[in-house]
Amino acid sequence: MVKKTFKLLLLWLAVLSFACATLVAQNFASHQPIGVHVNPSPMRTPAQHNPAGVKTLYSNLGPSTDAYYDADGWLVTGPLSILGESQWIGLPFTVSVNATVDALEAAVGYDGSGANGFLLGLYSDNGGTVGTLLSSGGVKNAPSFGSCCALSVAKLNPPVSITAGTQYWIVAYTPSSGGGDDFYGAWAFANADHFDYSIDNDGWTDSLSFTGIPAGAVLGTVP
């Protein structure tokens, strides 16, 4: 993981500071995503257990006390956040059986600015990138970024049937206006690389050579 983080730092172009975090800034003009690095807390809170009646359909999370890499992540921000632009992150996944998705989990943490609330959405795939929103749920009071291993969990309304072998996306995003449009947080890396990002709500772009896949899971039922 040290090698992975060093590789990521070589890609980052500038370093700013906010609170106790080191903000690693990319060039928005070239549409590169922005990552953040912190000194993680030594305290460990086990990740939540699945709610009764659902199973894990997809996950790249580790064990409950080491579910993700809490020192680095990709910013998730609203258009009125201190960043000054929105940055939304999408994680692709497939399942091996037909299923119904009831909830999404993501290692998204709050980084101390704006309203502590954002959205997790289940999206279709559009030729290898994020497609259309199928369903979503809100997250309030996300855990602090830089701590492990509590998760942000959103119950989908309505649940969505998905097809085995078809790619879908977990997307962490904010409202374009209204409550939550100033959210400033980060999606921590999994303990593995390919994601999509959207800057200032101008369309989705493949991560290409960037490293650091976001950590998350999909919960639901199988017929």
What's the pLDDT tens digit per position in 154-190?
Answer: 999 999 999 999 999 999 999 999 989 999 999 999 9
Q: Rounded to two decimals, what is the model's pTM?
A: 0.83
Contact criterion met (CB below 8 Å) for 172 and 119: yes
Residues in the chain: 223
Q: Which of 26, 90, 77, 18 is nearest to 200 (CA)?
A: 77
Which percentage of the chain shows pLDDT scores above 90?
Answer: 69
Q: Looking at 19-23, 41-45, 51-55, 123-127, which range is the least confident one?
A: 19-23
Structural domains in the chain (count): 1
Q: What is the token pair recorded at 40?
A: 């993680």
Q: In which domain, by residue range, is 76 found? A: 2-221
Task: Say yes or no to pLDDT of 142 above 60.
Answer: yes
Rounded to an integer, the average pLDDT of 9-21 is 30
